[in-house]
Structure 1
Amino acid sequence: MTPSSNINKIIREMKAAQRKAEQQAQRELKRAVDKENREIDQHNRRVEQQNRQAVANYNRKVDAHNRAADRHNKQEIDRVNRELRKAASRPAVSYTDEERQLSQRVQEAVAAQDTREYHVFLSYARIDGSNLASDLRDNLEERGVSVWFDEVAIRPGKSLALQMDQGLRRANAGVAVLTAAYLTGRFWTERELGALLHKSTLIPVLHNVTFEDVAQYSGILPDLAGFSTEHDSVRDIAGKIAAAVLVTESP
């Protein structure tokens, strides 16, 4: 065999080996790609299954929430209907002649005033009037009456006297919750009442005291009508005050 024949044989063998290597590489690549595709398919199937399960769990929770909300709404509707039936059967708020005169006087005075920031300034003694005053404020605000109330309006670090004087000037009317502690002449209540007495819109609310008790505190107040928790609930008193200070309403 000639040298050229040997060279050609070697070249052929090299090409054959190269083709074999390429074919082997292609087979291995195909196996790797197939394996990766199988793994991707398996992963996607797992994710899809998890998603279906998550959606099913979420839908069950939503259904449970909706059922609970429906029950709650039904209970609330039933409660409101019961309250409406109670309100319909409850006797209308009644006025004494003195209370009606007070309401009319306050209405006329408020109607003649310029618009103020608050409808009423609420004056009370904290020792025995705080709870009633807070309850009265809540009931007034439910009826759209804006209330200057020291627990909310007073700002620490500023003159208490100045803030109270400003509150009195910014209100159309004054509501004085007269209690035993109020009538002892405590400094702040005495100061507030002194300013309120100059208003034709002073509305006394008596709590656990009578006008006879008040007569010993002031010679002016007994000549005024007022509302008393002895005869009316706080809710009804708030309604009477609202009807007096919201001049679009009438008692």
Structure 2
Amino acid sequence: MTPSSDINKIIREMKAAQRRAEQQVQRELKRAVDKANREIGQHNRRVEQQNRQAVAEYNRKVDAHNRAADRHNKQEVDRVNRELRKAASRPAVTYTESERQLAQRVQESIATQDTREYHIFLSYARIDGSEIASDLRHNLEDMGVSVWFDEVAIRPGKSLALQMDQGLRRAHAGVAVLTAAYLTGRFWTERELGALLHKSTLIPVLHNVTFEDVAQYSGILPDLAGFNTEHDAVRDIAEKIAAAVMVTESP
């Protein structure tokens, strides 16, 4: 062979080797791409499965929450309906003549007053009047009556006497829960009642005492008028007080 043919042979062999090398690189690249695609596909399938499981778990929790909420709402609706049926079946409160005159006197007096922060100042003796006073207060507030109540309104560190005096001035009317302990003339109840006595808006509520007991207490009431837990339920008394103190203002 001539030198020229040797050179051509070498060139052909080099080109063939280059083609084989390129083909090998392409095969390896394809295998790498296929492997990467398989791994990506497996990863995506795992992610989709996890997402489906997470969504299914979330939906189960949402369904459980919704079922619980539905049960709660149904119970609340049933409770409200029972209360409405009880209210509809309960006879309207009735007034004695002295109670009617008391309510009318309070209404007429409040109608001439300036706006106050509270509808009533609630006075009671803690020894034997705390429970009835708290029950009365909650019933009044359920009916929209704002109540100055020492357990809520009194702030520690400030003059107790001053705060009570301010409470009396900031209320349209005073409700005195007259109990046996109240009638003994304890200092605070005596002070509160003394401030209320001159007002035509004093509303006595007798609890476990009689008008005869009250009459013996230094003649504290100008007339023996008031509401009595012996004759009426606390809620009925609250309705009567609410009707007396919540005077509708003229437009």
Output the TM-score relative to the length of structure 1: 0.88
Is contact 2:176-2:205 (8 Å) kept?
yes
Is contact 1:214-1:222 (8 Å) kept?
no
> Residue 217 and residue 29 in structure 1: after superposition, are their counterparts in 2 closer, same or farther (change >3 A)?
farther
State the Cα distance separating 1:90 from its structure 2 match.
Answer: 1.6
State the Cα distance separating 1:13 from its structure 2 match.
Answer: 6.0
Is contact 1:102-1:225 (8 Å) kept?
yes
Q: Deviations over 1:83-108 (max 9, x none)?
A: 22222222210101010000000000
| Bigger mean CA deviation after superposition, 199-208 or 16-25 | 16-25
> Residue 224 and residue 14 in structure 1: after superposition, are their counterparts in 2 closer, same or farther (change >3 A)?
farther
> How well do the aligned residues superpose, as a CA RMSD in angstroms?
2.9
SS of 2:172's equivalent in the other structure is strand
SS of 1:172's equivalent in the other structure is strand
Q: Deviations over 1:29-77 (max 9, x none)?
A: 3322221221111111122122223323333333333333333333333
Is contact 2:214-2:220 (8 Å) kept?
no
> Residue 207 and residue 28 in structure 1: after superposition, are their counterparts in 2 closer, same or farther (change >3 A)?
same
- Gap runs ≥5 in structure 1: none
Is contact 1:107-1:244 (8 Å) kept?
yes
State the Cα distance separating 1:8 from its structure 2 match.
Answer: 7.7
Partners of 2:9 and 2:234 lie apart in 1 by 117
State the Cα distance separating 1:189 from its structure 2 match.
Answer: 1.1
> Residue 106 and residue 16 in structure 1: after superposition, are their counterparts in 2 closer, same or farther (change >3 A)?
same
Output the TM-score relative to the length of structure 2: 0.88
State the Cα distance separating 1:15 from its structure 2 match.
Answer: 6.1
| Bigger mean CA deviation after superposition, 148-157 or 100-109 | 148-157
Q: Deviations over 1:105-147 (max 9, x none)?
A: 0000000000000000111111111111111111111111001
Partners of 2:172 and 2:6 lie apart in 1 by 122
SS of 1:221's equivalent in the other structure is coil
Is contact 1:102-1:224 (8 Å) kept?
no
- Gap runs ≥5 in structure 2: none
Partners of 1:241 and 1:108 lie apart in 2 by 14
> Residue 73 and residue 250 in structure 1: after superposition, are their counterparts in 2 closer, same or farther (change >3 A)?
farther
| Bigger mean CA deviation after superposition, 125-134 or 97-106 | 125-134
> Residue 79 and residue 7 in structure 1: after superposition, are their counterparts in 2 closer, same or farther (change >3 A)?
same
> Residue 101 and residue 18 in structure 1: after superposition, are their counterparts in 2 closer, same or farther (change >3 A)?
same
State the Cα distance separating 1:28 from its structure 2 match.
Answer: 2.6
State, as a whole percentage, how many aligned pairs show the same letter: 90
> Residue 105 and residue 13 in structure 1: after superposition, are their counterparts in 2 closer, same or farther (change >3 A)?
same
Q: Deviations over 1:163-200 (max 9, x none)?
A: 11111110000011111111121111111111111211
